[in-house]
Structure 1
Amino acid sequence: MPQVDQNIKEKMLFIKKFVAEPRMIGSITPSSPQLVASMLCNVDWDKIACIAEFGAGTGVVTKAIMKNKLPQSRLFVFEIEDDLRQKLIRDTGLDIYDDARRLPHVLREERLRKVDLIVSGLPYAVLPQEVTAAVLDGISRTLAEDGMFVAFQYSLHMKSAFERIFKEVKIRFVMMNIPPAFVYECRGLKG
């Protein structure tokens, strides 16, 4: 019963934040287990030494990453909404960063050059264009040559933007999510 109560509390917090700031949160509910599974299904965890997650929300994907990653793998989590960030800190014990645009700076501070996996739940379609451009620039500067970028979106709005950055863009549709979502799996940074 305590887990059910926790799930209800997380959903209520998410709805409250969405109503207050729909451009910041981007969804009315946390990601479903089916969406999380689709996002992480092709990750080769044995080859992942450094991970970044953008738009962690209530930590549904964060917890799946923590469960699957190697113990020595580094994880950098970004969540801009303060209440959600504080909840993530309490729930995970991780340092949670505020703005995904800061990834290159955070890596420099940690004396790291590249990440092997970037997982994104950012609502690119509703973010200001300059924010999306800055996040995409950070991805292209920090993702390892053989790295993988995975994002979910509620439309195909970002398809052409991702195709400009990556040689390979695969898209999966996940019906079992509210709302249904597209998972973009991207590899091979262009030029």
Structure 2
Amino acid sequence: MFSPRSRYHTTMAQSADFIKEKMLFAMKFAAAPRTVGSVTPSSPYLVSSMFLNVDWQSVGVVAELGAGTGVMTKEILKRKSPGSRFFAFEIERGLRLRLSRELKIKIYDDAAKLPQVLDRARVGKADLIVSGLPFAVLPRCVTAAVMDAVQRTLSDEGIFVAFQYSHHMKSSFESIFEQLSTRLVVMNIPPAVVYECRGVKRGAGCCD
């Protein structure tokens, strides 16, 4: 049982880590807003909404695109089944190296390389692909390449879940998925839209 003093020190340490994470995210955003996409990490409310309808027992392969400071990454590691495979991607080198050291897992760079990474790992298709990439501010060619990778690797029964800060991607997602639902998360800075997509329309294009 923790003493009041030990609980105090634990709380202070957690607060210090939270502040450091916020500062790091803000600095990375200032340096490369088109890569990081937001001035602050995702809130617990957004994290909860992202995984609202995920049946973790049926997820054998999960990929995360745009790991950032690892808010979603850590939650995936907590929730996924022990035997499942996890592949995380983060293009910003500083964030990627920091998160890799902290979690002691390999973090890949370019999310568009997802098909090649899964092929090399011999794991087949992904059952869940989670994205925090800021599609609204990325060059169209980058968004198209990433979404092509998603289409090629998501299993027939798989789920693609992404959050954005606008409805900018709604028509693009509708063009490549059979089913699309959205949820607004106001308890986030800024408020975010969660897109939950199922059923890839084979041969469909994105961002034409």
What SS does the aligned partner of 1:80 have?
coil
Matches of 2:155 and 2:185, distance apart in 1? 27
Is 2:150 the counterpart of 1:139? yes
The match for 2:92 is: 81
The match for 1:29 is: 40
What SS does the aligned partner of 2:25 have?
helix
Matches of 2:140 and 2:123, distance apart in 1? 28
Deviation sequence 1:54-89 (CA, Å, 0-9, x none): 001000000010000001110000001011101111
Q: Considering only CA atoms, is the larger Rg found in Structure 1 or Structure 2?
A: 2
Q: Following TM superposition, by how much is the alpha carbon of 1:112 offset from its aligned partner in structure 2, in angstroms? A: 2.3
What SS does the aligned partner of 2:187 have?
coil
TM-score (norm 2): 0.91
Structure 1 segments (4+ residues) deviating >2 Å: none
Amino acid of the structure 2 residue aligned with 1:114:
K
The match for 1:157 is: 168
TM-score (norm 1): 0.99
Q: Percent identity?
A: 61
Q: Following TM superposition, by how much is the alpha carbon of 1:90 offset from its aligned partner in structure 2, in angstroms? A: 1.4
Matches of 1:140 and 1:89, distance apart in 2? 26
The match for 2:69 is: 58
Taking CA–CA contacts closer than 8 Å with sequence separation of 6 or more, which of the two structures ends up with the larger relative contact order? 1
Say how many residue pairs are matched.
Answer: 191
Structure 1 unaligned segments of length 5 or more: list them.
Answer: none
Structure 2 unaligned segments of length 5 or more: list them.
Answer: 1-11, 203-208
The match for 1:175 is: 186
Matches of 1:84 and 1:126, distance apart in 2? 19
